[in-house]
Amino acid sequence: MILTDLTLAQAREGLRAKKFSARALTEAHLAAIEKLNPRLHAFITVTPELALAQADAADRAYAEGEAGSLTGLPLAIKDLFCTEGVRTTAASHILGNFIPPYESTVTAKLKDAGAVFLGKTNLDEFAMGSSNMTSAFGAVENPWKRRGDDTPLVPGGSSGGSAAAVAARLALGATGTDTGGSIRQPASFCGITGIKPTYGRCSRYGIIAFASSLDQAGPMARTVEDCAILLGAMAGFDPKDSTSAERAVPDFAAACRRDIKGLRIGVPKEYAVPGMPDEIAALWQRGRDWLRAAGAELVEISLPHTRYALATYYIVAPAECSSNLARYDGVRFGRREDGADLIEMYERTRAAGFGDEVKRRIMIGTYVLSAGYYDAYYLRAQKVRSLILGDFTNAFAGCDAILTPTAPSAAFAQGEKMDDPVTMYLNDVFTVPASLAGLPAISLPAGCDRAGLPLGLQVIGKPFDEETVFAVAAKIEAMAGFSASPTLHAGSSA
């Protein structure tokens, strides 16, 4: 048995049945990381001592019959979650070697459930990007390759390190964060599953902020059920986050087994964007056919403001980023450059500490919030955001969930789309609307393109109805029977 090939649910079964120890499971993943991380750069920091100590504690818990829902299961944590005593970088030089004195709520919940933390995964700097090319710690490589072609591809972003780690079997699951698609798009590019829950479902406390009204944590794993198990442990009300929702956490894993007969699945006509590659259009059609065969009713819906979503997002997100990132001034923590006076110290610190994409967004955000432009850009974007939410509210009067492609392309090559930021932003065309509306949305692998690269489908749900999202996604997963695995993974000789 190759331990790194197990799903999270299978690994849990194996631990409960004492077929192998948590230590053996953790060691197998650490060995896989040692072998493949030098190539993939999926992890910025690996924490073997911590992981083995947690694994030993897990073995004791199993021996004493005190195991929790995730006891002994090795996970990777996006390096945007503050982890007490473990360096947290946001993939930026400005944080230097910041070691948080506290734990984020989501990672604290995972620890309480017994999870083993293998290390911190790479991302686009401050989670701004769709390719992982903007990390100050070097780009992540996608473990998938085009057939017969060795060109390094991007894993997507910003949770690209988490996606690559899970796809390459370096971890059973991972945390991600999604502001405009950062869980779903890398999941699609790496052939794994990832869900952005409803805004407010998971606490943002201790997650380094990018755009606070959009940021949400969520799980990434190799199956829908594994995501459901992880989300069950991550979610829940937190008094430390004022936007956290006071809602009970349902049994998401049970929802994966729900019947979808009679459910109404909306297909938004505006998502059939001009220039959509025929393979993606065909995958979307197959998704509809599978759901119809499973007894769902397919209905055409209209989300008329979809075409304004990207423009709206790229005003709201930079505006909030410019405000959130003002705290990196070299005074309280992180990197500091010397200057003749305070202002020069600020300027030098921020000039040296931030990368180009982050600077671009701070400048755009500062501009759209400035006196004279606030009404024309920021306020207007907020109004359009309400219209986009209104579109979904209207659509959900006539359907239970919405089916779309996750991304307009398969993984692209490293270095591609880097010359023009707008080309990069177009990646988010299908993921950003659900973010602006705060809705739960999952991406799961449903097929491959002609070059053998994975393609994802997205299921969007009503607010706090992750259960229907999981039910529909599990049905697509069963019907798609996606079984391809990446070129580089822990079991291969590469």
DSSP designation for 86: B
> Residue 14 or residue 181: which is nearer to ligand GLN going by CB?
181
Which is closer to ligand GLN, CB of 231 or CB of 399?
231
Q: Which is the catalytic residue, given 182, 203, 244, 485? A: 182
With CA atoms as reference, report the closest residue to 224 among 411, 430, 25, 443: 443
| DSSP bridge pairs for 176 | 218
State which residue, 25 or 407, has the beta carbon closest to ligand GLN. 407
HEC string of 274-332 equals CCCCHHHHHHHHHHHHHHHHCCCEEEEECCHHHHHHHHHHHHHHHHHHHHHHHHCCCCC
114 vs 160 by CB, closer to ligand GLN: 160
Task: Tell me the C-alpha distance between 314 and 328, whole Å.
Answer: 22
317 binds ligand GLN (CB under 6 A): yes
Q: Considering only residues 59, 79, 178, 320, which one is a binding residue for ligand GLN as defined by CB under 6 A? A: 178
Please say if 158 is a catalytic residue. Answer: yes
**CB 247 to ligand GLN: min, Å:** 23
User: If binding is defined by CB under 6 A, does position 129 make contact with ligand GLN?
Assistant: yes
Does residue 460 sit in helix, strand or coil? strand
Indicate whether 312 belongs to the interface with ligand GLN (CB under 6 A).
no
The correct pick among 238, 400, 428, 466 for binding ligand GLN (CB under 6 A) is 428
Give the interface size with ligand GLN as a residue count (CB under 6 A): 13
Q: How far is CA 391 from CA 122, 268, 314, 386, in A?
A: 35, 10, 19, 9
Rounded least distance, CB 471 to ligand GLN, Å? 25
- Interface residue with ligand GLN among 3, 77, 94, 127 (CB under 6 A) is 127
Among 4, 92, 107, 182, binds ligand GLN (CB under 6 A): 182
| Contacts of 84 by beta carbon, 8 Å cutoff, 6+ apart | 100, 101, 102, 103
The yes or no reply on residue 130 touching ligand GLN (CB under 6 A) is yes
User: How far apart are the C-alpha atoms of 55 and 86, rounded to whole Å?
Assistant: 17
Q: List, as one string, the DSSP characters of 384-427.
A: HHHHHHHHHHHHTTS-SEEEEES-SSS--BTTTT-S-HHHHHGG
Nearer to ligand GLN, 128 or 153 (CB): 128
Spot the catalytic one: 104, 130, 131, 158.
158
List, by residue number, the catalytic residues: 78, 158, 182
Contacting positions for ligand GLN (CB under 6 A): 127-130, 158, 178-182, 210, 317, 428
